[in-house]
Structure formats: structure tokens, C-alpha cells
Chain A
Amino acid sequence: MDLSAINWLLLLASLMVASTPILLAAIGELVVEKAGVLNLGVEGMMITGAISGFAIAVETQSPLLGFVAAAIGGAVLALLFGFLTQVLLSNQVATGLALTLFGLGLSSLLGQSYIGIKPPLTGMIDIPFLADLPILGTIFFRHDLMVYISLLIVVAVWFLLKYTRIGLILRAVGENHDAAHALGYKVVRIRLMAIAFGGACAGLGGAYLSLIRVPQWTEGMTAGAGWIALAIVVFASWKPGRVILGAYLFGGVTVLQLNLQAAGLAIPVEYLSMSPYLITILVLVIMSADRSRTALNAPACLGRSFHASS
């Protein structure tokens, strides 16, 4: 094995690119869970976003329109979940799982004529001056727009949840929906909005995969990223700042194992491919070892159906 074959600067730079899809999906799911809804359909919404974004970008030759379409596609699928669970009061876990399966099937159907096509290229943005910094410039300031947008979304979510009334109401609904209802807040409406936001973010994450990271369309290309995003929300104990940490940690391990494979590490490739998932499981186990602290941060109404009794 030749570790010097690894370009550490490029590795760190590609870490940000590798992490962006799960970062987007995870921050969306965080908002959904803060509102008290457990949507296990992230994977389905991501891949639906991936194909909607890819198709529209190819047809219009505009990556920007592609991302808009991906957000809409993810949100529409999420609202289907919202209608089933919030209005028809179906079980959130079962519906979320069904949403994943449905999204995977729907995307392969939609994507049949797009296999093997190249999408329009999304331009890189070299931030003036900063991009020319030695080392830091390469790592942080020579990426595409979506990388920065994803970070902006995380900061905005953090600010909204912590400092604004909308955020307070959202947390209140997730904490105790009966009390929120008694105070006159529209629990179902607020949750539907959170679900749509979560779907849009997952859609963006999916489109980032198909338009920038890979970039092309293959069936099932999200390959479990949605599930990792779900795990990262728990890992982050529902705190936006830690979502960045979790996503970049996972992205880092993914990139590292690719580089180690390339450098010819003398263990079977399968072990390396497994490693990001193994590390995620390990981190989750360590995080939830202190059960009372995890429970303290979890929204108290997470996954419970709300039915106005009055």
C-alpha cells in the first residue's frame, strides 16, 4: 500500500462533495422529526428527487431547473406521505417504508429512457480571493453552488429553530401535540409543511447525486444514503450543527475508503465498502449508550399520530 498516492488535499475537498447529499437529506429529516413526524421514506424521496432533477435538467439543459424540479418532486412524494399519515392517520413507520419502496420503483420507471445519458454540467464557483488561498482554497472554496447552499440551509434551520417563533411553534408541536392543539396551533398543517420541507431537501440531496456527484442516472443510485441520513439525525441528537459533523464524518469515511482502495490496501475491498456503514452503526451505539440523554433531546411526540379529540 502506498499512502503517499493519496492526495490529502483532494481527499478533503471531495469529502465535502461526498457529504452534501446526506447533509441535505438529514437536515430536512431533522426538521420533520422536530415537528414530531418520523418519515422513514427519505431514501424514496431522495431517489425520486434524483430522477426528477436529472430528467428536467437533461430536457431543459439547465441544472438549476433540475434542482428546482428535484425539490418539487421530493416534496410531492413527501406530501403523499403527509396526507396518508396526518390526514388518514396511517402508521408512520409502515407508510415511510412503503414510501421508500414506492420511490425506488417510481424512479426506475421514470428513469428508463435516461440511462447512459450525460447531464448538463453544473459550474464550479471559485470564490474570488478565497479560492486562491493555499490549501484552504482547494478544500473549502472551489465547489459548486449546492455545497454552499446545503450549508446555508443548515445554518438557516439552526437559526429558525433557535431564535424564531416559527421554530418555537415547530418544536412545540413535536414536543406535545395535544398541548399545541389546545393552545390553538394547527398541528396537522404545521406538520405537513415540515414534511414538505423535508421532502424538498431529500429531493435536492438526490439530485446532487445524479447531477453532480456521479453524474449520471442509474437505478437505485442512492444506495442507502437516505437510511444514513436518518441515522445521522439520531447521531446528531436532533441538533443542526451536529448534522454537519455527522454527514461530513460519514462522507469522510466514504472518501477515505475509496482512496484506500485506490492505494491498494491489502484487505478485501468489501470490508472497505462496509466501513462507512459499520462506523455509522458503531457511532449510533455509542451515542445511544446514555439512554436518558438521547431521550431528552428526542421530540417527545416523535412518530405518534395526532388526532384532535375535540
Chain B
Amino acid sequence: MTGDQPLLKLEGLTKAYPGVIANDHVSFEVQPGEVHALLGENGAGKSTLVKMIYGLVRPDAGQMHLNGERFEPHEPRAARALGVAMVFQHFSLFEALNVAENIALGMENPPAQRDLAARITEVSETYGLPLDPARLVGDLSAGERQRVEIIRCLLQDPKLLIMDEPTSVLTPQEVEILFETLRKLSAEGTAILYISHKLEEIRSLCEGATILRLGKVVATCNPREKSARELAELMVGQTLHQPERSRAELGEVMLEVNGLTLPPATPFGTTLHDINLSVRSGEVLGIGGVAGNGQDELLAALSGEVTGTGQAIRMKGQPVGDLGPNERRALGLLAAPEERLGHAAAPDMSLTENALLTGWVREGLSNRGFLNWPKTRQFAERIIAEFDVRTPGPQNAARALSGGNLQKFVIGREILQRPDVLVINQPTWGVDASAAAAIRQALLDLAASGAAVICISQDLDELMEISDNFAALNAGRLTPARPASGLTVDEIGLMMGGAHDMEVAHVDV
């Protein structure tokens, strides 16, 4: 049913927030049954655009048409009633509720719980997405949670399904299952608006693409006719340079973890089971795995936020498991957690104060309890200069920086303290491509200068690019490390736990 009329037509959509134009006269069309990609860097305006289509945000100007009719949803309910459904990037799920309750919340007129459970089972079998309606969402893996969202959408027979970065939390095998489902939906006539910055995925899945940069449409193309590099450069608007590594000889073992087992601190946290790893001077150890498999817990155990691990963690042969973060910093073990605002940096404190918070031990920023502000300010200014942090100055609050700039600051702060071991979680999450390349280069340079780097990330391309050895976290267990060069995507997927315990789709296309 590819009629003459587009399913969704956007004309001149504009939305401005104070100080920034999120969308500037955006126009494009989606045909029925088309899988259309919306490409762009963070901050390019993709999320604002789909929020307007889903009725969460109202445009300042411009028009939308759905099936040729004027489409002005003023709330998500109205959009859903007209057949627009959305799977969110950060899941819109309720952990303490069960699957059926979560799905009922996303429907206008849900049937009684028992009938709903039967329908969930039926739809999930049809699309090869098995799910138990009675399970608590808090106990599900990220892949299964996404299924809950997708089934919630499918139960409403959508004509347009919006997916915001759906694969960022999935293993390669789970991505394959998802793509099978999406292709089946598309064959049935459901159009899919697919937001991502993973270019290879888009090239394999999508028939059309609209590329946004700084809120404007810069290109519309068929992604299969372009190379990933061409698409990337359209997104960034400049040529990209790949990080280079100058190989250093691997030296002595700097950090060693033997049989680390740790119960979680929160009810939905992950237990670490018998973690073994070692990282040598000059080495980058990449740790992959889907979010929620113990990344945060491992970082906390290594950084010293969680103590009492005694002999299990050794730095240059000396046990550090009972030392707190500052004592570990003094020994040269530094860490940068994933959550920038609130964990790596205090949002309402200035950059100078934030520089002090982790830097005072190694940079000598305090003297008998008195703070040396001039020296701290110099340290903050040095971070800003060397890591190209775009900010008016070190007196600015951390909250005022964009995600990418704050990330550069947080990582620069640790690197400039000349760590012997740096543990870092999601170094380039939500950071635009050129800043990400700069951060990766800095990590490689740090390793080349003789430090050991442990990089925990969910971005496999990133890990393949910078790591010497690769290990994967899966349900709190760490696989043995393997040399990163020569690993195939399938092997990595299996190390990450494959498609978990979920069967491969029985899709009848």
C-alpha cells in the first residue's frame, strides 16, 4: 500500500527554546511502510522533532499532515489515537510494576488484566518477542524491557512507529531480532521513524534518511547509496579524523582483580560474581556489555566508592580493596563514572570547585585543610585549555555546560592528574562525534605514556577502536579478556551473553 500520499508530511516545523532554535523549518515526508531514518548528532534536534510528532511539545510554527489531514496533537493521547506510537530512548517504564501493568498504562482503553495478559502473549508470539506478562519490569534485561515498550506500541496497531535510539542498549544478537520485527512490521505497512547515530544499522535497515544538523535539515538521501563515512560527515559538517594509536610496549601489571564478589547496593542493582581482570602499563582494557550488567557496580568497586573488598583488588601488588577513593587517588588509581551531573561533577558548583573535588589529593590543592584557590583555578584553566572545553571560564557552574563539554572537563580533570590507572565508564556517552574522537585520542595518549586504562562502555565500535584487550560484563560476571584485534561482531555478541535467554524470533514473513 504505497499510495501517492505520504503517511506523514512535515512542513517548516520550527521550535525555539530560550537561546537555542531546536528545529528550524524542518520538512520531510514518510511513506506508508517506509523505514525512515532521522540522523543527527546530539543536540541536532531529533528528540524535539519526534516529541512534536508525538504531541509532547507543540511547534512554534509549521504544519504536520497525517494521511493528508492536518495533524496537531496537543497531547500524546491524541497522537496515539491517530495511530502514532513511540518507543523511548530512556525507557518510559515503571520498574516496580509488572509487564501487563506497564503495557496497560500506555493504552487508552486497556482490557481487563486477564484479557490483556492473553493479548500480550499472543502479540509477543506473533512477532517473536516472548514476554511473561506477570514479571516485574525491574527484573528484566534491557532487551526485554524494550520488548515491553514495543509490544505496548503494537497492541495499538500503529501506522507510524517512532523509535528513539532503540539499539543503544542491545547486544548484536538482540539487534538482529529487533530488525526482523521491524522488517515484518514494515512489510505489513507500518511506517517506522528510526532515530539513531549508528550508521551501519541505518544502512542495513532504512530506505530513506533525513539528516539534521543544528536543527536544520541538511540532506535527505537513501542511506544505502552512501557510505557510513559520507553520512557521518553530513551529520558533523566537517571531515572526521580517526584516533591514532602509537603502540607502546605493555609493561608491568598495574591493577589486578581476583575473585571479586560484591552484593548490590540497591534493590535492582547487579551482584558482581567472581570478577577477575588485570591491566598492564600501556594497555587499554575495554569492557563491553549491555547497560545494567554490573558496570556501575564494577566502577564503584574499583574507584573506592564501595570498600571492604580487601585482597580482591591489588594496585601494583598492594591490596587497595579497603581504601577509600582519596587513598586510592593518592596511589594513582583514578576513576570517572558514567553519570556526569551528580556523580562525576557537582552540578551547582563551579568548574574550579569541581576540579578541586577530585584533584586536591594529587595536585596539592590544599594545605593543612586550607584551600589553595589560585592553584585550583590554574588547574581548572589548564583542563579547559588542554581539552578544548567550551565555556566562558572556570567560574561557570558545571550544570551550565553541555553534556559533551562537561564530559571533556571531567575526563581531562582525571587525565591531567597523571593517573597510573584510570577507570572510566561510558567516556563518550551523549558526546558529539568530534568531541568523542578527541576524548578517545586522549585516552590512547594516556595509555601510550605508560598508564593503564580500563574503559567500560556500551559502544562496541569505540571499544574496538581503542582497546588492546576486550572483556564483556554479563549479569555481573566478566568474561576472560581477549585481544581486541580480530574479534568478530558475532564473537563479541556471544561474550556479551548473546540474546540472553531469549529465543531467536520465529518470524513468518
Which positions in A face B, CB cutoff 8 Å?
Answer: 165, 168-169, 171-172, 175-176, 178-180, 182-185, 292-293, 295-296, 299-300, 310
Contact = CB atoms under 8 A, between A and B. Distances in A.
B51 A292 contact: no
Contacts of B266: 292, 295
B244 interface: no
A182 B76 contact: yes
B133 to A, nearest CB: 14
B44 to A, nearest CB: 17
Contacts of A182: 56, 76, 88, 92
Contact of B105 (A169, A292, A293, A296): A169
Nearest to B109: A165
B75 interface: yes
B478 to A, nearest CB: 23
Nearest to A173: B94
Interface of B: 51, 55-57, 75-77, 80, 88, 90-97, 101, 104-106, 110, 266-267
Given A292-B266, A295-B266, A172 B94 contact: yes
Given A183-B106, A292-B266, A175 B92 contact: no
A165 B97 contact: no
Query: Lowest 9 CB-CB distances: which A-B pairs, in order?
Result: A184-B76, A179-B92, A175-B94, A182-B92, A296-B267, A292-B267, A184-B77, A310-B57, A310-B56
A172 B97 contact: yes
B76 A183 contact: yes
Contact of B96 (A178, A293, A300, A310): A300
A310 B267 contact: no
Contacts of B101: 168, 172
B399 to A, nearest CB: 14
Contacts of B105: 168-169, 172, 180, 183, 185
Given A165-B110, A171-B96, A182-B76, 5 more contacts: A168-B101, A172-B94, A176-B92, A179-B91, A310-B56
A184 B93 contact: no
Given A172-B105, A310-B57, A179 B94 contact: yes
Q: Interface on chain B toward A: helix, strand, loop, or mixed SS?
A: loop
Nearest to B48: A310
A176 B56 contact: no
B77 A295 contact: no
B65 to A, nearest CB: 22
A296 B80 CA distance: 32
Contacts of B92: 176, 178-179, 182-183
Interface centre among A169, A182, A300 (most CB of B within 10 A): A182
Contacts of B93: 176, 179
A176 B95 contact: yes
A276 B56 CA distance: 50
A307 to B, nearest CB: 14
B104 A175 contact: no
B125 to A, nearest CB: 25
B163 to A, nearest CB: 14
B117 to A, nearest CB: 14
Given A168-B101, A310-B51, A296 B96 contact: yes
8 contacts: A165-B104, A171-B94, A178-B90, A184-B77, A185-B105, A292-B266, A300-B95, A310-B56
B267 A175 contact: no
B75 A184 contact: yes
A184 B77 CA distance: 6
A300 to B, nearest CB: 7
A175 B77 contact: no
Contacts of B88: 179, 182
A40 to B, nearest CB: 23
A173 to B, nearest CB: 9
Nearest to B136: A296
A299 B95 CA distance: 10
A217 to B, nearest CB: 42
Contacts of A178: 90, 92
A191 to B, nearest CB: 16
Contacts of B110: 165
A180 to B, nearest CB: 8
Contacts of B76: 182-184
A295 to B, nearest CB: 5
Nearest to B138: A296
A56 B95 CA distance: 46
A299 B57 CA distance: 27
A179 B148 CA distance: 14
Contacts of B56: 182, 184, 310
A180 B56 CA distance: 12
A168 B104 contact: yes
B95 A184 contact: no
A178 B96 CA distance: 15
Contacts of B80: 184
Contacts of A184: 55-56, 75-77, 80
A199 B440 CA distance: 55
Nearest to B80: A184
A178 B90 CA distance: 10
A175 B76 CA distance: 20
